[in-house]
Amino acid sequence: MTLIILFAPLLFASLVHGTSEESSFRSSSLSSSSAHSVIKSSCSITLYPELCYSTLYTTTITQELTKKDVIELAVNKTKETIQANFHTINNLLTPSTYSSLTKRAQTALRDCLDMTADTLEGLDILIQQLRDYPNKKSLHQQADDLKTIMSTAITYRETCLDDLTYDDDDDASKQSSTLVMEGQDLGGKMCSNILAMIKNMTDTDIANNSNKVEHVGRRRLKDEVIWPKWLSVVDRKQLWFFGVTPNVIVAQNGKGNYTTIAAAVAAAPMNSTTKYVIKITAGVYKENIEIPKHMNNIMFVGDGRENTIITGNRNVSGGDGMTTTNSATVAVMGERFLARDITFQNTAGPSGGQAVALRVNSDLSAFYKCGMDGYQDTLYVVSNRQFYVKCFIIGTVDFIFGNAAVVFQFCDIHARKPNLGQRNMVTAQGRTDMNQNTGIVIQKCSIDATADLKETKGGFPTYLGRPWKEFSRTVVMQSSISDIIDSEGWFPWDKEFALDTLYYREYQNMGPGSDTSKRVKWKGWGVMKSDTEARPFTVSNFINGWTWLLSTGFPFWPIL
């Protein structure tokens, strides 16, 4: 007897949208052997092929399947798992359970709930983009968008797990964390499989259409600032010297629309399709600010990073239940966030532990002539695509960290004096999956030290970075590196962890700290040998900068 298994449509709604995503395979019945073959072939290139196949093989249809169809099936199955985990977390936040948890566990669960909701929304967007593929935008841009959504979903899973892992939690909190971790682990593996299938599909399509793709940015460029062509000379001067015309003004003396940044943000529109400029006049603003998801196209303009400072001192070591995620002085989730001429500061100091000055989850976000001032974990580049130009970034341990696809250009990156016994780490990149399109690129920057560290540098070794996660990826190229950087260049996270799987590269750097003759001998470290090897990490390629940075009005260098 042949067992016929019908594919049931999804019965639950997305929590984010409140509507059900109807599968395009609702009327499916008995599977053909060719459909199983396509599923098996698609699953074979994933990191968890058995999980992939066992999840999808009972999903049977009569029509022929394509790679894209299999991905959509996998997305719908993954939504089921993540939806169930959302309910698990939500149930743990009910008063009867919530009150028995430590403050830090409560905060971690709220973090996880938010990130799980964001992941569900991302999967809904992914389905729509898959259905459009490959009919809109260029193949390269579509591929980057699809991979970014799934890279972010995997990052949020890992960030949730990091927040939940805390040795000082009591038994009830640890039990709750374990329950959530099980669901997050399964959902994360399913997201990984989707990412692998997307990468395989888009890489194949791009290769097959390589003769049709326009390679933007091959022309040689002069050493000049790149501005949008539609900006007049007058407008360019205004952007460069005076800033843009604000929608509202924040002034502590009462001469603006608001006296606090929080009040101006609270009044800003949601889902704006045009730039909404908040001018923040000179002053020290002791506030913790959050730009929520769907508050898009917000721009902060200060009076110079020495004059407009947003400061806070939240930190993990303070005993008030903070996670790294929630320690940020300013946190940005809404996409296309821009900031210029402003400093984000955390004053917790070298003993505060993780204490974030600026946390950025915002996709297509950019920062120009800003300051990021802190100690450990100063700048948390969590996820999505980000760009920083002519910024001043200062810190001690892992002071640029996270798993965004991010490029720093013409920035001053300075290590400062830490506590006794500590080592300075410029970066701690958090890539957990070999298919994620994420990494930290430092190009045409200056890596140096503050005056207090220069005086005592012998007692505080400073390194370019260490691998926070298994597939950590960092590239330092065409930058000036002072002798503050130890001759070995890089430092391990924990013994042999990730030394074979990380990707650390250096290329065309200068200065006494750029000598690679005494660098670490790890399998994952190396010196790039040609422009061809370095070119994938330029602004135009790594963050697809040509498609969005022109609209920011910020200068950038698109190529090597």
Residues 507, 482 contacting (CB under 8 angstroms): no
Token reading at 417 = 């004096």
Task: For the beta carbon of residue 62, count every other beta carbon within 10 angstroms.
Answer: 12
104 and 323 in contact (C-beta within 8 Å)? yes
**Helices within 8-134 (DSSP H only):** 33-44, 49-56, 67-92, 95-98, 103-132
Tokens at 334, concatenated: 């809404």
**What Å distances lie between residue 416 and 310, 372, 424, 462, CA to CA?**
20, 13, 8, 9
Query: What is the helix (H) or strand (E) element at residue 475, kind and residue range?
Result: strand 473-477
pLDDT for 533-544, tens place per residue? Answer: 999 999 999 999
Tell me the C-alpha distance between 460 and 396, whole Å.
10
Confidence at residue 559, expressed as pLDDT on a 0 to 100 scale: 92
Cα-flanking dihedrals φ and ψ of residue 130, to 5°? -65, -40
DSSP state of 161: H
Contacts of 99 (CB under 8 A, 6+ apart): none
List domains and CATH numbers for the chain: 26-206 (1.20.140.40), 318-551 (2.160.20.10)
H or E stretch covering 190: helix 171-208
More confident residue, 313 or 8: 313
Q: Comparing 20 with 379, which gets the higher pLDDT? A: 379
pLDDT (0 to 100) of residue 456:
87
**Residue 35 near residue 60, CB atoms below 8 Å:** yes
In sequence order, which residues have a C-beta less than 8 Å from that of residue 343 and are 6 or more positions away?
302, 305, 306, 308, 309, 310, 370, 371, 372, 373
Q: Name the nearest CA neighbour of 133 among 21, 209, 223.
A: 209
pLDDT tens figures, 284-310: 999 999 999 999 999 999 999 999 999
Instruction: For residues 166-187, give the mean pLDDT.
Output: 79
Report the C-alpha gap between 477 and 490 in whole angstroms.
Answer: 15
- What digits encode the pLDDT tens for the residues 79-101? 999 999 999 999 999 888 878 88
Q: Give me the residue label for tokens 């001032």.
A: 373
Residue whose entry in the numeric block shows the structure tokens 């390589």? 210
Q: Tokens for 74?
A: 């996998």
Inter-residue contact 153 to 117 (CB < 8 Å) = no
Mean pLDDT of 443-454: 96
Give one DSSP letter per residue of 491-518, joined into a string.
--SSTTTTTTT-EEEEES-BSGGG--TT
Whole-number Å distance between alpha carbons of 47 and 50: 9
499, 519 Cβ separation under 8 angstroms = no
Model confidence over 313-334: pLDDT tens digits? 999 998 788 999 999 999 999 9
* Alpha-carbon torsion, ordered 497, 503, 504, 508, to 10 deg: 170
Distance of CA 294 to the CA centre of its chain: 17
Any idea which residue has 């996670």 for tokens?
Answer: 323
Q: Which residue is associated with the tokens 């030394």? A: 499
* Nearest CA-CA partner of 324 in 79, 492, 158: 158
- Asked if the model's pLDDT at residue 7 lies above 50, the reply is no
Residues 6+ apart with CB under 8 A from 507: 475, 476, 477, 478, 527, 528, 533, 534
- State which amino acid sits at residue 476: V
Catalytic residues: 398
Say if strands 379-381 and 400-402 run parallel, antiparallel, or are unpaired.
Answer: parallel
Distance separating alpha carbons of residues 490 and 518, to the nearest angstrom: 11
The strand pairing partners of 339, in sequence order, are 300, 367
Residue identified by tokens 């994933």 is 46
The tens digit of pLDDT for each residue in 397-421 reads 999 999 999 999 999 999 999 999 9
Which conformational region is residue 113 in: left (phi greater than 0), alpha (psi within -120 to 50 degrees), or beta?
A: alpha
pLDDT tens-digit map of 115-149? 999 999 999 999 999 999 997 788 999 999 999 99
Angle at 458 between CA 510 and CA 519, to 5 degrees: 45
What confidence score (pLDDT) does residue 415 get? 98
Distance CA 473, CA 470 (A): 9
Confidence of residue 217 (pLDDT cuts 50, 70, 90): very low
CA–CA dist 548, 325 (Å, integer): 27
CA neighbours closer than 13 Å in the CB half-sphere of residue 267: 14
Full DSSP string of 401-448: EES-EEEEES-EEEE----TT--EEEEEE---STT---EEEEES-EEE
Quick one: pLDDT band at residue 150, thresholds 50, 70, 90? very high
C-alpha span between 256 and 478 (Å, rounded): 43
Tokens (6 digits) for 551: 């609209």
At 222 the three-state DSSP class reads coil
List, for residues 240-286, the tens digit of each pLDDT value. 444 578 999 999 999 999 999 999 999 999 999 999 999 999 999 99
